[in-house]
Amino acid sequence: MRLLVPVLSLICLSFGNYYYDYVMCRYLSDRPEEAELYCLQALEEKPTPSLYMDLIKLEMALGNREKALLLAQEYRERYPGSVEAYVALYSIYRVSGKTDRALRILEDAYRKFPNNKEILIFLADEYTKKKEIDKALEVLERFARLNPENPFPYYLLGQLYLNQGDVDAAIEYLQKALEIKKTFRAAFVTLGKIYEREEQFTEAEKLYKEILREDPENRVALEKLAQLYMATG
């Protein structure tokens, strides 16, 4: 590093202080205490979204949540059309235990970006944690409508219904997920557990064999089928 820093200095000084600060901010990323000053200076000179995120992550790594929060708020104000800014602000509130504020940020983001997958997933999760199941279902159903070829929202709906004790609805949505992608592991493992718990062993066997027909080397399905045979004799 002793040789590299002078070289970087010579290269970057000809382009102005910003480039030197930016390069040093990135170069010292594994040493946040040393990188902080360079990153702050680079941000002041050119406040780009990537620099905001670099600094937010750096301040969180240093345990400076208040600084990270102020940066995230500034980022959102400067770039109101950035989903990333809302997610950063939400994440800081969440990590800080300020769950009500975190939820309000997501709800604001949902109104602004109603079709964003990341916002939909986070918001559904927050509603589920707060036992606002109807709202969680509404968000996940929207996610599914917007992404009809994606098995993930159907899996999430299946999990939500399962957690509420509605086994039939859970099975229906997990089956929908598997219709889209037959080897979607999370869905077939969860569905198999339901069948086994409900003592629908024939359905569980059929499920695992269907996975193996699609993917004969599927290790998880092989293990599940072997465990099923051992348990049922």
Query: What range defines the domain where residue 230 resides?
Result: 162-233
pLDDT at 192: 97
Q: Is 129 exposed, middle or buried (0-12, 13-18, 19+ CB in 10 A)?
A: exposed
Q: How far apart are CA 146 and CA 19, in angstroms?
A: 42
Can you tell me whether residue 155 is helix, strand or coil? helix
Q: Are 193 and 167 spatial neighbours (Cβ–Cβ below 8 Å)? A: no
pTM listed for this prediction: 0.83
Domain count, the chain: 1
Coil, helix or strand for 229?
helix
The answer to whether residue 82 sits within a structural domain is no
Residue 171 included in any domain: yes
The Cα–Cα gap between 103 and 125 comes to 10
Instruction: Tokens for 170, please give them.
Output: 């859970």
Residues 6+ apart with CB under 8 A from 156: 121, 124, 140, 143
In this structure, what CATH number is given to the domain that contains residue 171?
1.25.40.10
Count how many residues are written for the chain: 233
Q: What angle do CA 125, 129, 131 make, to 5 degrees?
A: 115
Say if residues 188 and 211 touch (Cβ distance below 8 Å).
Answer: yes
pLDDT of residue 1: 46
Mean pLDDT by 10 residues, the chain (233 residues): 46 58 81 86 90 93 95 96 97 96 98 96 96 96 95 96 96 97 96 96 96 96 96 84
Whether 216 maps to a domain, the answer reads yes
Record the tokens describing residue 79, joined without a space.
């770039």
* Residue 91 included in any domain: no
Residue type, 100: D
CA atoms within 13 A on the CB side of 101: 13
Per-residue pLDDT at 7: 45
Residue 55 located in a structural domain: no
191 part of a folded domain: yes
Q: What is the pLDDT of residues 83-117, one digit of tens each?
A: 999 999 999 999 999 999 999 999 999 999 999 99
* Amino acid 224: pLDDT: 96
Residue type, 15: F
Residue 101 in domain: no
Is there a domain that residue 222 lies in?
yes
The span from the CA of 151 to the CA of 193, in Å, is: 18
What does the DSSP assignment read for 131-159? T-HHHHHHHHHHHHHH-TT-HHHHHHHHH
